[in-house]
Amino acid sequence: MGGKITCTLGEVKNRADFMIYWGGNPAECHPRHFTKYTLTQKGRFVPQGRKGRTMVLVDIRETPSAKAADLFLQIRPGKDFEMATALRAIVKGHPVDAARVEETGLTVAQLQDLADRMKRAKFGVIFFGMGLSMTRGKHMNSGAILTLAAEMNAFTKFVCMPMRGHGNVTGADVVLRYTTGYPFGVSLSRGFPRFNPGEFSTIDLLVRGDTDAALILGADPGATMPQPAIDHLSRIPTIVLDPKVTHTSRLARVHITTAPTGISAPGTVYRMDEVPLPLRPALASPFPTDEDVIRRIRLAVAAKPAWEPPAHVTMAIA
Amino acid sequence: MITLTLKELPSVPLEAEVLSPDVTAGLSNDAIRALPVYLGKRQRRIDDFFDVDGSSSDQITIQGDAARVKWIGRAMTRGHIRITGNTGMHLGAYMSGGTIEVSGNGADWVGAEMSGGLIRIDGNAGGQIGAAYRGSSTGMRDGTILIGGSAGLEVGMRMKRGVIAIGGPVRDFAGLQMKGGTIILASGAELRTGAWMMRGTIISLRPLPLMPTFAYAATYLPDVLRIYAAYLRGLGFTLPFDQQQGAYQRYTGDTSVPGKGEILIWNPRGA
Amino acid sequence: MARELRGVEIVDTYAEAFDMRVSRVIITAATEGWARTAAVSMTGFATSVIGCKVEAGIEAMLPASDTPDGRPGASVLVFAFNAEGLGSRLVERVGQTVLTCATTACFDGLPDVSERVQVGGVLRHFGDKLQSSKFLDGRRYWRVPVMEGEFLVEESFGTQPAIGGGNLLILARDQSAALTAAEAAVAAMRQVRGIILPFPGGIVRAGSKVGAKRYKSMTASTNEAYCPTVRGRVGIASELPATVNSVLEIVIDGVDRAAMEEAMRVGLDAACRPDVVQITAGNYGGKLGTHLFRLHDLL
Amino acid sequence: MLRITGGKVYDPANGVDGVIQDICIDQGRIVASAEGGRTIDARGMLVFPGGVDVHTHVAGGALNFARGLVPENQRAARKFLHGKDRRAGLGGMTPTTFATGYLYAGMGWTTVNEAAVPVLTAKHTHEELHDTPIVDKSCLLLMANNEMVLDLLEAGEIERARHVVAWLIWAAKVYGVKAVNPGGVAAWKWGKNASALHETFEGYQSLTPAKIIAGLAQIVDELQLPHPLHLHCNNLGVPGNVATTVETMQVLEGRRAHLAHLQFHAYGGDGWSNMHSEAAAVADAFNRHTNLTCDAGAVLFGDAVTITADGPWQHLLYQLTGRKWGNLDVENETGCGIVPYVYKDRSLVNAVQWAVGLELMLLITDPWRVFLTTDHPNGGCFWRYPEIVQLLMDVEFRKEQVRRLPEAAQQRIVLGDLDRQYSLFEIAIITSAGPARALGLSNKGHLGIGADADIAIYPEQPDPDGFLFSYPRYVLKDGEIVVEEGEVIGGSEGREFIVRPQFDAGIEAYIRPLFQQIYTISFDNYPVALERLRHPEQVTLPSKPA
């Protein structure tokens, strides 16, 4: 059933002699990724740095990242899942349909060559970007890449890492996991954590109009989410905690200005590889931190007579 | 027969797993009125939302637009639920027996991880029909799901046994990681049908775009389809198998797994 | 005291029958012809459980509307002494005569019976791990890849208690009268569901007794008391009236007592024709069999 | 002020064996007498020092990685509903942090030792431990594959290595040193393993697993850490690993050490087909090595999630099970592998594993040196400990279980022949007094004057639906009642025990440039600031290194 085979970025820096960037444009979106962690750095076991590494870029268009690559594979939009799955078969020496492979924009020969290079690697890594995880197929595109990397370990050392979005996405994921057991799409409405992406994930809830209030923290959905979701946010009482005015704060019923985390508020940010980094406030802020505000809201809510803890679970609901 | 009439559409989803013959059978109407349901985080009573009529029975009729009512028929083992109108997510999830009929539309997770019984929806349904919940290794274990209209993503994901037949068009990943059972797509499906399937049968009566990891085997009429045709005819669903009309193209895969699954695509004579 | 039917004496005796187990095999094919071919082949050399380990016959030919897969078919009944034996015989016979026969598929005719024997569940191994199975409505079917396409066979077959060895003895003035009567009886009996007549053409001319008087090693030998040509020899106690010169027997296996009685009743009636002297039945004084069918009860 | 009266007290550290006596509590400590305040009537009940778990995995990057990997387990898990003073959570194979605290306390355990912390993500481990309520915590730093340390050991610079280890311990704010599959994890970074104690492994010329073990044991002793080197031997789970385990004991002669989850290291045979119990041989060697302690790492039939820094083993397990597989390598320090697993009583291998854990606890003669664990969640969940207690105390119950095993499995084990039954006194040793002593926590694991008032009170007659230890009537933590009538009623956050071993102040000058070369975060972000621990309690060490 595959799984997730990954590592911290230092492992890549010190060991990776082969890397695939898939569905991302690191040169522009994660500029320091190349220089700090992966490509150009001299590593403990890759003393020649860039010369010691092979980089493959898989993307739908020739971005500036392509220049940095030793091999650029241009794939037709929306064909990542097909390509990754065909590659899984080819890596194992199982048959694929040449004509249907070519619908991905690549030939069997190209995939065979890639498979051979991957097997020759001493330490291989695949980074995949949102060009993969946010296009048609979503989590299954990611799943295909993760499974490919896992299965490669039957031949050589191989790991895989998603290039997460901006902000502390990983941090939210990490904290939700240890407090609720699930990374995202969690509902606490029945008094205990439940997980069901698509049912409880934010965009889906808003698009279906399943919520009658919203508290927005460290995000600006008003700028990024689909219009129906934004429309619902403006229909319901929406509360925004944000140091600055945002698209969301403009449509919100309430905007509480908070101290900018990392600048005026301490905390922890998690790198895409889940390495925690402490944030030390540099400047004082007249505004409360997000944490202060949330604590005070919770206390106020708990003090309300109407607040009652949920009764017993009538059934274990998935 | 117990009849529940929805007073109005709840403002947020209402979780009502108590709407199951196993729960209502043998309860007085007052006891049914007092059963707990959950509106968001608040516990409420059935009669806050439904008028309850009729008399104690394992036959339940639900009237009104229950599109926001989740978990109807959850884990039911017997009896009959008839919904005149729409229904919310998780209809008949985990059910092992009995029958659910819906005259309107269903939502996601219809019959998820069910192990027996029959669900019939006349209108459209959402995604993950008869599927495995996230992380589970196995979806639908047996039983039958019939959808008159269209369906969404990941129909029959990781299903192991049973039959899912869908009249209208189906979206991506039908039969994803399928382990067994049969999916019938009367109007075909979009992309990645049968992706990563290990075992099982996907029958499409319309041409399908196939993954590169499926290999053509033969064009023929599998005798086993005659059994399915007979079974489905009893449920008002026609599966062609007359050689005068055409034959099925058999593709096997998914070779990336590697899987022993099959996709059978109906190829009308002269087409 | 003896009774008569259309001038034929019906001896006041009984047929003595035994406990057996039966399975019902439904064979379907592209045409009725191929279904019959497979059925005939499967029921060949299955006259006596003593000599063939099994008794089998075609119960009926089935119209397409009455078969599981909507194709013309044949219903075959197979009898043996116990479930184990029945299972292995079915595997042998379905494997050699149905799996190999063009266009056929093979289904259990007793799906509601709880005691079951593996048939497709064993034959699937012919697929050398390339076979696959489908499970529908509580029944599992195996699809075995063959050169023609696929052989479809149900995983397990029901077996239930049954009755074997019901019989009628037709005593006539001459061979042709005996044969005409026996043929008439067979034709009538074959209209009855739930029974088979395992012997060639439904008729047996070589009735037997248990063991032998003169060869110690024989388990069965000719039924001398009904053999006209040895009448009058020293040491022979003939059962035949003076006017009888030829005897034919009809042996019946049935799924239950009702089917057996009905078959014997219509057979007895049809056999009462001119030049038939007497109709009687074979028994062992009630010592061996558990099921007794009095001929007079059938009148 | 609080008094517990009329209970049968089991306090092995003070030689008290089932004596009916009162216990007085004041200011969270046990005192000679207390006037006023509440009195708990413990007549007909058993009074034990709160349980101490010497080896568990309840917090940190690896476990949290596992949580994300098994939503199906969480879904089936026991649910904790949030209330006014209780947080929501899920039990199961990989409980959420809050549930972890409730589950341990709900069973009568009040101190846990998280056995695997990488320096790089220690910050995160402490965040989780802080959100693990009620119980006190300590944790151990993964050292046996830390390349900074290995390079020094390879170069024979044992003294500098000691300073580096000491610096890292304080940087990570931990309590002790853990060694997992020495050398094997480093080799796994190349997809290899280190299976021979006295042979070098991928990436090193002269260093061997044996040298790593000896070096770290020496360092831990010289630093006089309260807990000895905590060792997960090489070849975990591999048939025939008995040889490695006994060899390891020889390498450790003259040193203190704790052998973790010994059950996974006591197998004979040369493959899965003929794998069998070598518990007798391992116990025999262990009985002779009085410098060692160990914990059982017992296996219980049912679901588990295997989480270990032992990457190579996890890849093998993934290939055997074909189930999900997670792997997370941490730069220059360690790695971890995760594979959900089901122990089946019909499986010969699993049946042997189940037996070996119990055999070891029955064959190791000194209860002060073997402790009750399941290497949670690897062999089974910690909340199933009461089941194991039952198996140890009731020989008939035990033999009944053995008889249920496949005939072939019974041929491969000796459990059926063992008649030893643990007394309540001995149970108190292996669940509390022993592990507390091995951890060097002088205020834990006993009920003497001055001890922390961590107390579990069980009904003498277990509830019909549970085992003796399943439902304590009362549990006290630091004198506060956290379980009443079997219900967890919240409680405080619990402390974290840490140590500050001495190191040469100059060592940082050695580490910094090296760090900047091989790591990817800024050196100043590496150490965990003391103020990030909400309730640290620094255990003082002897002033000068020996």
Where do the structural domains in chain A lie, given as residue ranges? 9-162, 169-303
Subunit contact B222:C150, Cβ cutoff 8 A: yes
Residue A83 has pLDDT above 50, yes or no: yes
Residue B248 pLDDT: 97
Do B248 and B206 contact (CB within 8 A), yes or no?
no
- C44-89: pLDDT as tens digits: 999 999 889 999 999 999 999 999 999 999 999 999 999 999 999 9
DSSP string, B87-145: B-TTTTTT--SSEEEESS---TTTTTT--S-EEEESS---S-TT-PPTT-S----S-EE
β partners of residue C139: C136
Whether C244 and C121 share a structural domain: no
- C69: containing domain: 21-160
- 3-class secondary structure, D388: helix
Residue A3 pLDDT: 78
Whether C142 and C237 share a structural domain: no
Q: Does domain A9-162 bear CATH number 3.40.228.10?
A: yes
Q: Which residue of C has its CA nearest to B143?
A: C137
- 3-class secondary structure, C297: helix
Residue A318 has pLDDT above 50, yes or no: no
Whether C156 and C207 share a structural domain: no
Q: Is B11 on the interface with A (CB under 8 A)?
A: yes
Residue A292 pLDDT: 95
Which of chain B's residues have a Cβ under 8 Å away from the Cβ of A92?
A: 256, 258
| Nearest-CB residue to B223 (from C69, C132, C136) | C69
How far is residue B96 from each of residues B62, B90, B101, B115, measured CA to CA in Å?
20, 14, 15, 5
The domain A169-303 is placed in CATH, from the list 3.40.50.2300, 3.40.190.10, 3.40.50.740, 1.10.3720.10, at 3.40.50.740
- C215-242: pLDDT as tens digits: 999 988 999 999 999 999 998 999 999 9
Which of chain B's residues have a Cβ under 8 Å away from the Cβ of D92?
A: none
What integer is the mean pLDDT of A294-315? 72
Residue A316 pLDDT: 47
Instruction: Name every residue in B having a CB less than 8 A away from some CB of D.
Output: 133-137
ipTM for the predicted complex comes to 0.91
Q: Quickly state the pLDDT bin for A249 (edges 50, 70, 90).
A: very high
Q: What are the residues whose beta carbons fall under 8 Å from the beta carbon of C294, sequence distance 6 or more? A: C12, C13, C14
Q: Is D75 on the interface with B (CB under 8 A)?
A: yes
| Nearest-CB residue to A97 (from B75, B212, B258) | B212
Q: Which residue stretches of chain D have pLDDT < 70?
A: 321-322, 543-546
Q: Quickly state the pLDDT bin for A311 (edges 50, 70, 90).
A: low
Q: How many angstroms away from the CA of D376 is the closest CA of chain A?
A: 16
Domain count, chain C: 2
- A174-204: pLDDT as tens digits: 999 999 999 999 999 999 999 999 999 999 9
Q: Is A49 on the interface with D (CB under 8 A)?
A: no
Do D232 and D336 contact (CB within 8 A), yes or no?
no
Using the 3D structure, point to which of C115, C135, C160 is the last residue of a domain: C160
Residue (of C163, C182, C152, C155) closest to C67 by Cα position: C152
Subunit contact B133:D72, Cβ cutoff 8 A: yes
Q: Quickly state the pLDDT bin for C299 (edges 50, 70, 90).
A: confident
- Taking only residues 204 to 233 of chain D, the set having a beta carbon closer than 8 angstroms to any beta carbon of chain B reads none
The 3-state secondary structure of chain A, one letter per residue: CCEEEEECHHHHHHHCCEEEEECCCHHHHCHHHHHHHCCCCCECCECCHHHHCEEEEEECCCCCHHHHCCEEEECCCCCHHHHHHHHHHHHCCCCCCHHHHHCCCCCHHHHHHHHHHHHHCCEEEEEECHHHHCCCCHHHHHHHHHHHHHHHCCCCEEEEEECCCCCCHHHHHHHHHHHHCCCCCEECCCCCCEECCCCCCHHHHHHHCCCCCEEEECCCHHHHCCHHHHHHHHHCCEEEECCCCCHHHHHCCEEECCCCECCCECEEEECCCCCEEEECCCCCCCCCCHHHHHHHHHHHHHHCCCCCCCCCCCCCCC
Do A59 and A65 contact (CB within 8 A), yes or no?
yes
DSSP D264: G
Question: Percentage of chain B with pLDDT > 90?
Answer: 92
Whether C286 and C200 share a structural domain: yes
**Residue D515, number of CB atoms within 10 A of its CB:** 16
Q: Is D513 on the interface with A (CB under 8 A)?
A: no
Residue C122 has pLDDT above 70, yes or no: yes
Q: Quickly state the pLDDT bin for B242 (edges 50, 70, 90).
A: confident
Q: For chain A, what is the mean pLDDT?
A: 91
Residue (of C136, D35, C247) closest to B223 by Cα position: C136
Which of chain B's residues have a Cβ under 8 Å away from the Cβ of D73?
A: 135
Q: How many angstroms away from the CA of A288 is the closest CA of chain D?
A: 20
- 3-class secondary structure, C194: coil
Q: For chain B, what is the mean pLDDT?
A: 96
Whether C176 and C275 share a structural domain: yes
More reliable by pLDDT, B243 or C222 = C222
Do A293 and A242 contact (CB within 8 A), yes or no?
no
Whether C145 and C48 share a structural domain: yes
Vertex A285: Cα angle to A281 and A289 (nearest 5):
75
Whether C119 and C250 share a structural domain: no
Q: Quickly state the pLDDT bin for A309 (edges 50, 70, 90).
A: low
Q: Quickly state the pLDDT bin for A133 (edges 50, 70, 90).
A: confident
Helix (H) or strand (E) holding D480: strand D480-484
With an 8 Å CB cutoff and a minimum of 3 pairs, decide whether chains A and B touch. Answer: yes
- C160-199: pLDDT as tens digits: 999 999 999 999 999 999 999 999 999 999 999 999 999 9
Which of chain D's residues have a Cβ under 8 Å away from the Cβ of B136?
A: 72, 75
Where do the structural domains in chain D lie, given as residue ranges? 51-71+118-126+138-296+305-446+493-497
Q: Is D70 on the interface with B (CB under 8 A)?
A: yes
Strands (E), D189-280: 229-232, 257-259, 267-268, 276-277
**D2-5 β-sheet, strand order:** D29-31, D23-26, D2-5, D38-41
Q: How many angstroms away from the CA of B19 is the closest CA of chain C?
A: 26
